[in-house]
Each structure stands twice: as structure tokens, then as C-alpha cells.
Structure 1
């Protein structure tokens, strides 16, 4: 395949194409999506502005019994802690009901924040390019089109320095079992691979959500770290609970990525204290 725009997740004008659709949801996951949609309406009612799927389920490559269900919900007001607890409870209920999925994650934001100028190249881009509309108005109609440039790279993943201390604490707080550490390995592996990819995204000139393709793109520009990133991509799909992996992330790969990212793209614009 030639390396033209359309072969790397871009349209003919060089903008990132939106990935996923409800039509791509495989038969096995359709009951899960339908249940999640109905529960969201029950829980949030008129306060719900819109809701989205993202991740492997709307991309059509979810694995039965292995993949999680990822949701993003926009409320008409800022979400409260009670709202976040309700979202967690909803996710636990759906996860227990359907063996097809291995967990449910729900991101909860206000419509105003998703459409704010500060979030245009972070959460706004996420909604417009990586989320599949499930309920309500599609906020992508109010957002710009996006190119895989340095501004997007900086605003999506230029905050790893802030995340690493939180990750370290999560590792300390986790039970010393493989079962407890496995979700941490999966989450951190995926995040580091995506950060490595967006580090080189403007040079690679495209977008992908496939972890192995991300690691391959990264390795072409940083061969000395290629094997480490390829291993992280594998663990993003098939995590173990090895504490040595977590230590390598927060003591080696994470700090290196932080420094190189700041050198190449700069640091993400600061958010108000307390905002995730």
C-alpha cells in the first residue's frame, strides 16, 4: 500500500478521519451497547446532553471476553461526585451482566468543558475523531477538523510529567497481587504507547489507534527504544501483573518520554487545579 493520506487515517485533505461507527459494532457486543445506552438514559435523564462509544467496540475489533466497553458522557452541567459514582455503578452493573466485556470505563464531562477553547485540541479532538455518537447531539458539529500536527501532539499527551507521580502512588496503593496489578499494566502500557506514537505523529503524518502500529511508527524514529515500546504494545492487549514492568514504566520509559516530549513538542497548557 502506498503511503498516501488515506492509508494513515487521514482524508484526502490531510485531516484525521473519525474512527468507528455503530455499524462496526459486532453482533456479540450489540446487546452490551444497547444496555449501556438504556442505562445512561435511566441514570442521567434530561441532564444528559450526549453520549459516545470509543475504543475497540465501535472500531469493530473488540475481543469477546477480553475487551472493555468505553463510554464518554457529556452532561448539561458539571458532573458531581454523585454523578461519577452513578457512572461507576452503571459500569459495574453492565460488566456483571455481560460476559462479553472485561470492564466498563466511563468518562464524564460537561458539554461546556468539551467545547471549551482550552480543550479544543485535547478532549474536543477526542470527541470529534475518536468517539462514536450513541445518544444526543453530536458535539463534533461544533469542533474544528484536526491535522496530526505538533499542536495536537502537545495538547493530547504533553502532560506525562504530571501523571507519573499519580501512577507511582496507584502502584503503591494497589494490592501486591497479579490480579490487582494487571489493570495497571494494561492502562499504563496503552498510555505510554499512545504517548510514544503522538511524539512522532507529525513526522509519521497520520493517525492510528492500533497499539502495534503505533509502536512500529515510534520505533522507526527511536530505534533504541523500539523493542521497549513493542513490548508495551503487547502488554496493552495482553497484560500481566509483573511489578518489574510497572517499575520500568515509572522509572525509565515514562521519564524518558516526558523529557523527549517536552523537547520536541513542549508542555500541555495547564488546567485548573483539580481538573483531571
Structure 2
């Protein structure tokens, strides 16, 4: 699984985004070690204008390889309820989208990967303020959440494994979309509230 982020000085053009999609496909096909490439394309102004979501992701979960580090222009983050809400307080929107994508015939393996990653990351940020830190390691995230919500531990472990090595399993997708994700989203609403509309 290879995730990259490209931050541009100006907003990307449609042609630029299409070039990035071609790059994803080419990288995925050229290297046997890679199974799934995702390249986020953002512009610096948008990241700086949204410090609780894109800014946090950029400053705390990305390692700059080329160019200046935008983290120097972003806040010093702490694992607060506000940060949790504004990063993943939108999980409640996704289960219906994933079900609709499955109904349209979208590839199940790709859907499992997306749904699993979003659900595990959201579950982690739910407990992030209580735990007092952050991690981008999905298996570790699942273990940490399991300490706070043992009733989710088995499903989270399966979901984290599917995020890292997705399988075309409609049953697993239903477990996430109809079970785990709605439960995590409901708890998120109770604890942190809902992400502000963007």
C-alpha cells in the first residue's frame, strides 16, 4: 500500500489530476511490492485554510520528501476532541456511499480497502484524545481502540487486516458498512459531535 501526497502552489487542473491517476496506475502495475497506490493532490492554500483536517494530516501524518514543510506554518497539534471531530466526524456519511458504490457494481476489493481504512482511522480518532496521541499504523490503531471498546476488538482486527490486504469479500464489506462503521459513527456523534460542513 503506497500513499503519497502532492501539495501544489496552485489548485490542480483536471489535466493534472488525470496525470496523477495515470501515475497511480503505472506505479501499481510496475512494482510487485506495491498493492494499491493512492496519491492525494491538494494545494497549499486549501491545507492551510483547513488546519483541523488537511492541516493535521499534513503536519502529523506526512513526511516531507521534497520542498518546504508546510508543518512549519500549521499549529502545534494536540489530540483533542475538536481535532477528532474535524478529522473523522463525518464517518456517518460513508456507509450509505459504500453500499451505493457496491450496488453500482464497483469492484468489491477496492471498496473493502476504502471502507476498512476510513472505519479503522475513524475508530482510532474516536479514542485518540483519551489515548493521548496518534498513529497512522492501522493494526496498532485497531489494538488501541480495542482497549477502549472491547466489543469492537474482533471486528476492528479483521477490518484493519482487510485495509492492509483487501479481499473481494462482500460479507466483510457488509460487516463494515452495516455493522462496525455505523456503530463507530454513532459513538463518534455522542462523544465528539459531527464534523463541520466543508
Report which of the two structures shows the higher radius of gyration computed on alpha carbons.
1
**What is aligned with 2:70?**
139
Count how many residue pairs are aligned between Structure 1 and Structure 2: 198
| Kept after mapping to 1: 8 A contact 2:115/2:177 | no
Q: 2:9: which partner in 1? A: 76
Q: Which of 32, 35, 42 is residue 99 of structure 1 equivalent to? A: 32
Map Cα deviations across residues 117-147 of structure 1 (whole Å, 9 max, x no partner).
xx10110011111111122221111001111
Does 2:144 correspond to 1:217?
yes
Q: Does 1:89 align with 2:89?
A: no
5 Å-filtered alignment, 1:126-275, equals 126-174=57-105, 180-271=107-198
* Separation in 2, partners of 1:98, 1:219: 34
RMSD (Å) for aligned C-alpha atoms: 1.5
- Residue deviations 1:133-188 (CA, integer Å, cap 9, x gap): 1222211110011111111111110001222222222222235xxxx322221221
The residue aligned with 1:49 is: none
In structure 1, the gaps of 5 or more residues are 1-67, 272-276
Unaligned runs of 5+ in 2: none
Q: Which runs of 4+ in 1 moved over 6 A?
A: none
The answer to which structure has the higher helix fraction is 2
Cα separation, 2, equivalents of 1:96 and 1:222: 39
